[in-house]
Structure 1
Amino acid sequence: MKSDHVKMDTRKRLIVAMADLLQRKGLHGFGLSEVLAQAQAPKGVLYYHFPGGKVELAIVAIQAAVNNLLSTIEQLKTTKTDVVQVLHTFFSLAQNQLEKSGFERGCPLAAVALESTSADQALRQALSEGFRIIRSVITDLLSETGMPTERAIWLSTLIVSAYEGALLQSRIAASVTPVSETIDILLELIQQEIETNQKTR
């Protein structure tokens, strides 16, 4: 039983280390030795837990990052009174993380996506699914306000695309301005959509 706990703990540390490195350095900005060092894991253990090596671990780390995002939104839904507040707080948390990290910690999905090639089919599939889930969660949030489904889908696609682009610009410029201004615009647009929909019902 103790042995199983140790194995599970090591696996989790590897996933957390990989997610952090992906977020800060992208897929090709570090080697397995750095993952092992950050996870405080012995050599050889990575292939025990992830026979597919770095790519398999990256895919699992991406899935874990998406799950963490979903958990954060679910927690915010229990404390915030409306969708705009939920998204405002969520975006603010991400912005604060980016700024406090010296503009290193952006979106792990975007960082990997920019480096992927047509040969990285499994990786791209995981990224595509991750972005789909994120869009779906935002669509559901907007739909809860009574917004028509098609409009919610359209707006969620715009939100994810604009926000990811703003994060990239903020990292490059080492400034929160692009992401901060984009968040303000998106939240204003969401509020307008909600109010317009409520008036027409």
Structure 2
Amino acid sequence: MSSTRERLVDAMATSLARKGFAGVGVNEILERAQAPKGVLYHHFADGKTGLAIAAIRLSIERITASLTRKRAASADPIEALELWLEGMRQRLEASGFEYGCPLAATALEVHAEQTELRAALAEGFRALQAEVARTIEATGIPAPRALELAVFFVSAYEGALMQARVASDSTLLRGICATLLGLLRAEQRHVIPPPKERP
């Protein structure tokens, strides 16, 4: 059975993806985690912010682990990315376009003085970019270029995801994902040209 702390972090991770940081209240988190009032500050001295930081880190662990598993199970890294993106799109649609990325949802609300929360978000985006870069690098694309493409990949996906949630329509998201995957295929062909035909 999970501990109270684990249930709190899991509940916050779900709420961040659905409502962002400002949109979720402490009482809602306690109810979702089936935790008594007052227990939050026992586990997180800085309250909601500390819980959100832990939830962001848990979310990134889950997201990157999902891509790692897809990459390990596929002989084609780009196919692994495609399956990973498809899984997230399906989750978005199944939630009625409510379940998005906890990083993006929180980043839109964070204030300049919330330095620890901002640092956790920045760390999360870097971790996500690094995992995507590792997957792209597995195609044969050199590491520096793989990281450049990963940063672009994550930025384009996050923007399309937000628009899909607002419109309750994944058409644009599908198109962006197809474009990103096509770009990677083109880059891969450039790095590893097909063998020349014998005369």
- Is 1:132 paired with 2:132? no
Q: Give the letter aligned to residue 150 of structure 1.
A: P
Aligned residues: 195
Q: CA RMSD in A?
A: 1.4
Q: Which residue in 2 is equivalent to 1:102?
A: 96
Q: Measure the CA separation in 2 of the matches of 1:139 and 1:74.
A: 11
Q: Which residue in 2 is equivalent to 1:33?
A: 27
Unaligned runs of 5+ in 1: 1-5
Q: Which residue in 2 is equivalent to 1:51?
A: 45
Following TM superposition, where does structure 1 have runs of at least 4 consecutive aligned residues deviating by more than 4 angstroms?
A: none
- Between Structure 1 and Structure 2, the one with more helix by share is 1
1:47-73 per-residue CA deviation (whole Å, 9 max, x = no partner) reads: 111111000000000000000012111
Q: Measure the CA separation in 2 of the matches of 1:10 and 1:174.
A: 34
Q: Give the letter aligned to residue 35 of structure 2.
A: A
Q: Which residue in 2 is equivalent to 1:16?
A: 10
- Is 1:92 paired with 2:86? yes
Q: Which residue in 2 is equivalent to 1:163?
A: 157
TM-superposed CA distance for 1:200, in Å, is 8.9
Q: Give the letter aligned to residue 20 of structure 1.
A: T
Unaligned runs of 5+ in 2: none
TM-superposed CA distance for 1:46, in Å, is 1.0
* TM-score under structure 1 length normalisation: 0.93
* TM-score under structure 2 length normalisation: 0.94
Q: Which residue in 2 is equivalent to 1:65?
A: 59
Are the counterparts in 1 of residues 71 and 81 from structure 2 also a CA contact under 8 Å?
no
TM-superposed CA distance for 1:16, in Å, is 0.7
Which deviates the most, 136-145 or 177-186?
136-145
Are the counterparts in 1 of residues 78 and 136 from structure 2 also a CA contact under 8 Å?
no
Q: Which residue in 1 is equivalent to 2:108?
A: 114
Q: Measure the CA separation in 2 of the matches of 1:33 and 1:44.
A: 10
1:39-98 per-residue CA deviation (whole Å, 9 max, x = no partner) reads: 010111111111110000000000000000121112112221111111001101110111
